[in-house]
A and B are shown apart, each in its own frame.
Chain A
């Protein structure tokens, strides 16, 4: 196949590209320029978006002996990921920008362009397995598994994707990079959100959305127990940084239960009130089931990245997905993905996903 390897400058995508070369594919490396101004993105060797990362990717491509280009995706990235991120928070939801980037950039804008230019597939360094059966499975390295942020991909997108790392642990990938003479073997993993340079999400949102002071209200008493500078800065399940001025009656910690943009209110309450047993999600995408699947199924669901899984009965009807959890989950935030897995000894299979709308 003629494949396009998306190369971030990190160790995973470098080894993924190397494996694609070794598998006999005709590989071209592409680094995505996502920032309008590289200086505004984070500095240092932290992941994907600096000039240094671009050079690391280029060096890896040169070591592998493959062509390397930079594709400017900054406009699309800002429209589809950054602006979406801000709008979702403004609407009281908690977005996952990595997932959105996969859905709209890597496996959409990039893949579309690749196919138009005559490539057959996009290769990435995601830790997930995509077998000949077309099913997406968790990586063998469960702590590094990225099937959650890939579960948003549809059948056509998966059919044009190659994930060469799913059968390896991160440690094995690093060792292989060193063996292959790739300089990024010891490069630290990327964390955080690539377009928030200093990791200060609240500050970033404030700079984009402005200050919008409002009340923090106790769910049981209705009493105002604190003030906030913008409801968008809060996430369901959050405990730290609330700055409550009125202690709880029972003296126990309180958590963000909900965000109501209409009234600019953040509601807090006890841990028990965070527990939800029913989760609603929209825009379902099925890759392990027929695309138009409707009906009931028993499965496990995951409700946030690197979160735990819950056995559940999922009902699908009229483009909505309702999951009844066998044990209650905490900190379920609208905007996150609900990913439906079928447990298997050889690794859970992604059946599909939806975007959580309410609980």
Chain B
């Protein structure tokens, strides 16, 4: 079996798993005042410090959440609400056209239910948002913008955005800037303070931690209206009993991934190049989507002309190769990727795409298994792609 879907989720690091199990055996609510509570709190706060140190944030800037979707929603909606409450003219959300659904749908929701307007930033054909694009948006609308959000790295095609430059543009207008760095942490250097972002999303299960725990790194001076109301455990911005075991494992994973990042990027980037070269050798008309220069080390994303992505996925799955069409499903039906469409791909190219993503457990054998299975799968998918009745 070859697991080539690390961008969906990646196996837990054994040290994170051990830390999880050890902490989960202990009793204690981090909000309790007794010894058990203090013990749990100690674990949580150590973890907060470790995550802050690994990602260039102060401990107080680490808000634990249930993961990427919650962090993105909190950042986008929470910042929008707080900013508009202070200045009613700030009714606009600026976002890239290649965001994950957790951001995109939150923006759409604000438009549909909160009377917001959206400024979608166009990507170029590699998925890149140029600073000039944001500058033009801000020149036109800066007084009305409540928040700007542009992801650090794209989850489908792996394109890295010039986050520091974009954040600086927003900062020059005094506008909070959020970045979804779920795909970036552990893959490329991520430093919250150096990036100039006001808020940054990170999640456990993309870096070798558990599913269901993540964080929003949130500047201390950034006002955010909470999504969840209750005990106010996290700076009164987020409520809910802290998941000590999850948080400890998350911290171990972040720390390990960040510590190993350079070595990881070199090794996995090498495997990715082997994968790209191999695919293009056996399917010469395959199109590599995304950016050559500004790309996550573990990401390869292709369109296979004449194929439908879901047919290829089925055929590769049957050969023990796990990959993804990369785009979201609606009622189980794969939709043409909004990311590829934003990059100017037509419907056919969008529907013919597949994403292969490598991670810390990937090997050359995984890559070679794909290269071996791919030609026959592509040939079959092409036959199925142009359905003419074979039954007469």
- B-side contacts of A58, CB under 8 Å: 332
Query: How many angstroms from the CA of A112 to the CA of B384 in the assembled complex?
Result: 8
Closest to A57 in B: B332
- A-side contacts of B293, CB under 8 Å: none
A54 contacts partner chain B, Cβ-Cβ < 8 Å: yes
Query: How many angstroms from the CA of A302 to the CA of B384 in the assembled complex?
Result: 36
Closest to A76 in B: B387
Query: In whole Å, how far is A216's beta carbon from the nearest beta carbon of chain B?
Result: 42
Query: How many angstroms from the CA of A208 to the CA of B388 in the assembled complex?
Result: 30
- B-side contacts of A157, CB under 8 Å: 391
Query: In whole Å, how far is B107's beta carbon from the nearest beta carbon of chain A?
Result: 22
- B-side contacts of A69, CB under 8 Å: 310, 313-314, 332
A118-B315 CB under 8 A given contacts A51-B331, A54-B331, A71-B310: yes
Q: Which single member of A33, A74, A156 contacts B391 (CB below 8 Å)? A: A156
A97-122 interface code vs B (CB 8 A; 1 in, 0 out): 00000000000110111011110000
- A-side contacts of B185, CB under 8 Å: none
Cβ–Cβ contact A72 & B333, under 8 A: yes
A247 contacts partner chain B, Cβ-Cβ < 8 Å: no
Q: Which single member of B310, B380, B387, B389 contacts A118 (CB below 8 Å)? A: B380
Cβ–Cβ contact A112 & B317, under 8 A: no
Query: How many angstroms from the CA of A50 to the CA of B68 in the assembled complex?
Result: 29
A144 contacts partner chain B, Cβ-Cβ < 8 Å: no
Query: How many angstroms from the CA of A113 to the CA of B391 in the assembled complex?
Result: 11
Query: In whole Å, how far is A76's beta carbon from the nearest beta carbon of chain B?
Result: 9
Closest to A74 in B: B333
B318 contacts partner chain A, Cβ-Cβ < 8 Å: yes
A38 contacts partner chain B, Cβ-Cβ < 8 Å: yes
Closest to B383 in A: A116
Interchain Cβ contacts within 8 Å, total number: 60
A127 contacts partner chain B, Cβ-Cβ < 8 Å: no
Cβ–Cβ contact B384 & A116, under 8 A: yes
A116-B387 CB under 8 A given contacts A71-B310, A156-B392: yes
A28-B389 CB under 8 A given contacts A33-B333, A70-B332, A72-B334: no
- Size category, B interface: 20 to 34
B390 contacts partner chain A, Cβ-Cβ < 8 Å: yes
B345 contacts partner chain A, Cβ-Cβ < 8 Å: no
- B-side contacts of A309, CB under 8 Å: none
B369 contacts partner chain A, Cβ-Cβ < 8 Å: no
Query: How many angstroms from the CA of A117 to the CA of B377 in the assembled complex?
Result: 8
Query: In whole Å, how far is B331's beta carbon from the nearest beta carbon of chain A?
Result: 5
Cβ–Cβ contact B318 & A28, under 8 A: yes
A116-B380 CB under 8 A given contacts A51-B331, A70-B333, A72-B334: yes
Q: Which single member of A70, A108, A113, A118 contacts B331 (CB below 8 Å)? A: A70
- B-side contacts of A313, CB under 8 Å: none
B381 contacts partner chain A, Cβ-Cβ < 8 Å: yes
- Size category, A interface: 20 to 34
Query: In whole Å, how far is A288's beta carbon from the nearest beta carbon of chain B?
Result: 18
- B-side contacts of A156, CB under 8 Å: 391-392
Q: Which single member of B311, B332, B380, B388 contacts A33 (CB below 8 Å)? A: B332
B298-337 interface code vs A (CB 8 A; 1 in, 0 out): 0000000000001101110110000000000101111000
Interface members, chain B 340-392 (any A CB < 8 Å): 380-381, 383-384, 387-392
Cβ–Cβ contact B380 & A112, under 8 A: no
A187 contacts partner chain B, Cβ-Cβ < 8 Å: no
A67 contacts partner chain B, Cβ-Cβ < 8 Å: yes
Query: How many angstroms from the CA of A117 to the CA of B317 in the assembled complex?
Result: 12
A112-B387 CB under 8 A given contacts A117-B314, A117-B381: yes
Closest to A38 in B: B331
Query: How many angstroms from the CA of A254 to the CA of B177 in the assembled complex?
Result: 74
Cβ–Cβ contact B389 & A108, under 8 A: yes
Query: In whole Å, how far is B116's beta carbon from the nearest beta carbon of chain A?
Result: 24
Cβ–Cβ contact A116 & B334, under 8 A: no
Cβ–Cβ contact B387 & A109, under 8 A: yes
Cβ–Cβ contact A112 & B318, under 8 A: no
Query: In whole Å, how far is B136's beta carbon from the nearest beta carbon of chain A?
Result: 36
Query: In whole Å, how far is B7's beta carbon from the nearest beta carbon of chain A?
Result: 20
Closest to B385 in A: A116
A67-B314 CB under 8 A given contacts A51-B331, A54-B332: yes
Cβ–Cβ contact A112 & B331, under 8 A: no
Query: In whole Å, how far is A66's beta carbon from the nearest beta carbon of chain B?
Result: 11
Cβ–Cβ contact A112 & B334, under 8 A: no
Query: How many angstroms from the CA of A227 to the CA of B390 in the assembled complex?
Result: 48
A115-B310 CB under 8 A given contacts A51-B331, A70-B331: no
A31 contacts partner chain B, Cβ-Cβ < 8 Å: yes
Query: How many angstroms from the CA of A149 to the CA of B128 in the assembled complex?
Result: 53
Q: Which single member of A31, A67, A109, A160 contacts B332 (CB below 8 Å)? A: A31
Query: How many angstroms from the CA of A58 to the CA of B247 in the assembled complex?
Result: 32
Query: How many angstroms from the CA of A71 to the CA of B317 in the assembled complex?
Result: 15
A117-B331 CB under 8 A given contacts A69-B310, A109-B387, A112-B391: no
Closest to B312 in A: A117
Query: How many angstroms from the CA of A38 to the CA of B387 in the assembled complex?
Result: 25
A154 contacts partner chain B, Cβ-Cβ < 8 Å: yes
Cβ–Cβ contact B391 & A108, under 8 A: yes
Cβ–Cβ contact B331 & A115, under 8 A: no
Query: How many angstroms from the CA of A11 to the CA of B381 in the assembled complex?
Result: 31
Query: How many angstroms from the CA of A311 to the CA of B388 in the assembled complex?
Result: 39
Closest to A116 in B: B384
Query: In whole Å, how far is A355's beta carbon from the nearest beta carbon of chain B?
Result: 19
Q: Which 4 A-B pairs have the closest CB atoms?
A: A70-B332, A116-B384, A156-B391, A72-B333
Residues of B near any A CB (own CB < 8 A): 310-311, 313-315, 317-318, 329, 331-334, 380-381, 383-384, 387-392
Known: A51-B332, A70-B329; 7 extra A-B contacts, CB below 8 A, are: A28-B314, A33-B333, A69-B332, A70-B333, A112-B390, A113-B384, A116-B387
A-B contact pairs, 27 of them (CB 8 A): A28-B314, A51-B332, A54-B331, A67-B314, A67-B318, A69-B310, A69-B313, A70-B329, A70-B331, A70-B332, A71-B310, A72-B333, A72-B334, A108-B391, A109-B387, A111-B391, A112-B387, A112-B388, A112-B390, A113-B384, A115-B390, A116-B383, A116-B384, A116-B387, A118-B315, A118-B380, A156-B392
